[in-house]
Amino acid sequence: MQPNPSSSALPPAWATQVESQLVDGEKVLAWLETDLDAQLHFASGLLVVTNLRLLSRSSTDAPWQDWTYRQGIMLTRRDHSGIGSLELADADSLLARWRYTLSNNIAAGRLIEHFLRQLSHHLTGELPPSPEQILCPKCQSVLDTPLPPGQEECALCSKEIYTPPSTWTLFRLWRFARPYKWRLLAGFLLTLGSTAATLVPPYMTMPLMDNVLIPYQNGKPIDTDLVTLYLSGLFGAALLAWMLGWARTYVLALVSERIGADLRTATYEHLLKLSQEYFGGKRTGDLMARIGSETDRINIFISLHLLDFATDVLMIAMTTIILVSINPWLALVTLLPLPIIAWLIHVVRDKLRTGFEKVDRIWAEVTNVLADTIPGMRVVKAFAQEKREAARFRATNQHNLEVNDRVNRIWSLFTPTVTLLTEIGLLVVWIFGIWQVSENAITVGVLTAFLAYISRFYLRLDSMSRIVSFTQKAAAGTKRIFEILDQTSSVPEPANPVHLPTVTGRIELRGVSFRYGTRSVTRDISIAIEPGEMVGLVGHSGSGKSTLVNLICRFYDVTEGAILIDGVDIRSLPVAEYRKHVGLVLQEPFLFFGTIAENIAYGKPEATRAEIVAAARAAHAHEFILRLPHGYDSLAGERGQALSGGERQRISIARALLIDPRILILDEATSSVDTTTEKEIQKALDNLVRGRTTIAIAHRLSTLRGANRLIVLDRGSIVEVGNHDELMARAGHYYNLYQAQARNVDTEDDLRRQDSALKTEEARI
């Protein structure tokens, strides 16, 4: 007998236990580690399918149970709000039930598959052929299509990687700084020079004191030449420091501005690549705040604070060297408070970092409240809820205040403490210095120089302590930016993409399931759509029609199963290349700000004017566009021309026509317009559909008359397939839907007629 690959993968905790249960010639085919018990408490259990029976242990100390294969025995799985259950039943009753969290769902599916194979083997005597099984080398799950060469893990495992971003987030900015490294080096050298220049004047005070002033006090005349020399040295140093300082600030500001701009662009570009799933879970305000203000904060941090910090560190290092070279003992005393300040900075840093992260989050929350309310202003006003919205904003703002207050409490204490330490440090130097002078160990000049140095020195320390807050703010900002940059798209680009230059338009869905959170939206859908065929998706709202279309467009990736186009898994095609083959017409056509011509050419910016006009003609949009004051150059989109729903829809049809896709998806394309307009759109659509594989969703069943086949969905599964007449004859789901609509149609039409009559009247007024 050959060793079974899945038995070797038994979790080590269970392996020996299972071995002891097996009889001769029995081998483990599949297993599932259940992580919940009957009362839904977290408890580890195991379920094993062998070639002889089903073995199970509900927890590590429960007795083993087993069931042999016999007639009527059945294993089924169900899931509900995040928990899956496997039920073993025979014809009369339920035999056992196991529960697990959905992270084990794939293993459960595999277990059932093996169980059913063995069952049929024991009942009929012959082993059904093992389904073409290709296992993912990483997670051992069964794949529907072979992995493209070079790809080492399946889409499911690449989805499951969750590693937190490193804590050294600020260093990750290097990726953006690298292109400017020479300019950065120049900036650093300039900093070095300018800092050194600022250290000359205090040094000059030493000879000025000892060689000029003290001798004068002792009765000697002032040596004018010496004074001129020292003072011109002072002036020269100041001038040099000014020039170098100007150059370095300019160079570094230039670089940081560019880094900031690169960061913003990179973040936005990355954002555009993320899947629809990501945007579903994020709020607009938060994303806008991240890209806008966070990048700016990082930018300022690099150009101002980081620069200051570098200067400070250099200054402190140089000062230390100078001080030690003049008098090591005095230097030691001077530098005494340094470790205390460093420790203080360290302590406060941790508290401040969490504080600033909180401030950022609450700030995003404030923006979110605005972003939620302003687009819905009509609703707010209609329901007279201004007061409530104001209260909501005030509450968030209050929260903002509280968080800020807490941060400020620590922060406000911090700066004065550093100042106090500085003063104490000065005091110590005075005491020690006076004693040394009295002992004649040092000259008055040395003491003066020291005092001049350390007043600068501590001043720098003080400003250095400020960097803590800015660094923390920038680190928090960087973290939030990299959260976007680290987000891998849940519709990942394949590592080794397959290119399909031409597509015939054959779409095949194999066992497609999709789950949104814990909610199973579509279940095990399998269907093949031939090139050029028009298929209508029918069902109640919430039956999974739009989800299916989103999956075919690859806005989301399937949870289980695969979607194939011309026999190739769409996950192995480059996303943008694949979407070029797909044309989409939505219920609410979205027009971007720009001219009508630009909107039509959105999917093909290089289109000629003739092509645009041809597309508009085919979409029956040409004539109304010509009636607009600026024709094709009229502005559409926000604040642009007021176009009616039907007109906007025809523009979006022209948009789809222009890219000439092989696959066309009409998602409720005619739902938001009245029947008259619908007829016009329908004419445009007929042009569009011709010769393309079309998947149409329509609420109004009458619009799907032209479809070759209708697929009736109910709660995520296909319940009926066939053309209109067949389905009517079957008197099933479709029949019920159709009857329900037929009853409404008359009244609906009446209402619409009244409605449009009103509209024309309004227009006349």
Partner 1 sequence: MIAQPDFQLSRNAFGRLVFTGPDGRAQEGVVPVRAFPIAAPDQGIALIDSQGHELAWIDRLVNLPDELRTLIEAELGSREFMPEIKRILEVSSFATPCTWQVETDRGVTAFILKGEENIRRLTPPALLITESHGIHFLIRDRFALDHHSRKILDRFL
Task: Note the residues at the interface with partner 1 (CB under 8 A).
Answer: 35-36, 38-43, 80-83, 87, 89, 92-94, 97, 101-103, 162-165, 167, 169, 281-283, 286, 354, 357-358, 361, 479, 483, 515, 517-519, 715
Q: Collapse the DSSP code of 759 into the 3-class scheme (helix H, G, I; strand E, B; otherwise coil) and give the result.
A: helix
Nearer to partner 1, 346 or 753 (CB): 346
CB 618 within 8 A of CB 565: no
Residues 6+ apart with CB under 8 A from 67: 53, 54, 73, 88, 95, 96
Residues paired with residue 79 on neighbouring β-strands, in sequence order: 84
**Shortest CB 556 distance to partner 1, Å:** 14
Nearer to partner 1, 42 or 182 (CB): 42
Nearer to partner 1, 39 or 747 (CB): 39
**Shortest CB 81 distance to partner 1, Å:** 6
Nearer to partner 1, 38 or 127 (CB): 38
Q: Sign of the C-alpha dihedral, residues 400, 405, 407, 411? A: positive
> What CA–CA distance (Å, rounded) separates 592 from 598?
9
> What CA–CA distance (Å, rounded) separates 738 from 744?
10
**Shortest CB 732 distance to partner 1, Å:** 13
**Shortest CB 210 distance to partner 1, Å:** 56
DSSP structure string for 621-650:
-HHHHHHSTTGGGSEESTTS----HHHHHH
Q: Identify which of 599, 682, 704, 606 has the alpha carbon closest to the alpha carbon of residue 641.
A: 599
Nearer to partner 1, 611 or 714 (CB): 714
Q: Collapse the DSSP code of 32 into the 3-class scheme (helix H, G, I; strand E, B; otherwise coil) and give the result.
A: strand
**Shortest CB 38 distance to partner 1, Å:** 7
**Shortest CB 517 distance to partner 1, Å:** 4
**Shortest CB 162 distance to partner 1, Å:** 4
Q: What are the two backbone dihedrals, phi and then psi, of residue 73, each rounded to the nearest 5 degrees? A: -80, 140
Angle between helices 444-486 and 307-326 (to 10 degrees): 150
Nearer to partner 1, 88 or 696 (CB): 88
**Shortest CB 364 distance to partner 1, Å:** 9
CB 713 within 8 A of CB 548: yes
Nearer to partner 1, 282 or 604 (CB): 282
DSSP structure string for 536-589:
EEE--TTSSHHHHHHHHTTSS--SEEEEEETTEEGGGS-HHHHHTTEEEE-SSP
> What CA–CA distance (Å, rounded) separates 8 from 31?
11
**Shortest CB 308 distance to partner 1, Å:** 27
Nearer to partner 1, 26 or 372 (CB): 372
Half-sphere exposure of 437 (CA within 13 A, CB side): 14
Q: Collapse the DSSP code of 525 into the 3-class scheme (helix H, G, I; strand E, B; otherwise coil) and give the result.
A: strand
**Shortest CB 714 distance to partner 1, Å:** 9
**Shortest CB 719 distance to partner 1, Å:** 11
Vertex 475, ends 472 and 479: CA angle to 5°?
Answer: 140
Nearer to partner 1, 162 or 182 (CB): 162
Q: Identify which of 639, 704, 693, 636 has the alpha carbon closest to the alpha carbon of residue 669.
A: 704
Nearer to partner 1, 285 or 505 (CB): 285
> What CA–CA distance (Å, rounded) separates 535 from 529?
8
Torsion of CA 544, 548, 554, 558, to 10 degrees: 80
**Shortest CB 278 distance to partner 1, Å:** 10
Q: Identify which of 709, 689, 707, 699 has the alpha carbon closest to the alpha carbon of residue 748.
A: 699
Q: What are the two backbone dihedrals, phi and then psi, of residue 272, each rounded to the nearest 5 degrees? A: -65, -25
Nearer to partner 1, 354 or 708 (CB): 354
If one counts every other C-beta atom within 10 angstroms of the C-beta of residue 707, the result is: 22
**Shortest CB 267 distance to partner 1, Å:** 16
Residues 6+ apart with CB under 8 A from 539: 545, 712, 713, 714, 733, 737
Nearer to partner 1, 165 or 179 (CB): 165
**Shortest CB 298 distance to partner 1, Å:** 16
Lookup: tokens for 310: 């570098």
Nearer to partner 1, 138 or 519 (CB): 519
Nearer to partner 1, 341 or 475 (CB): 475
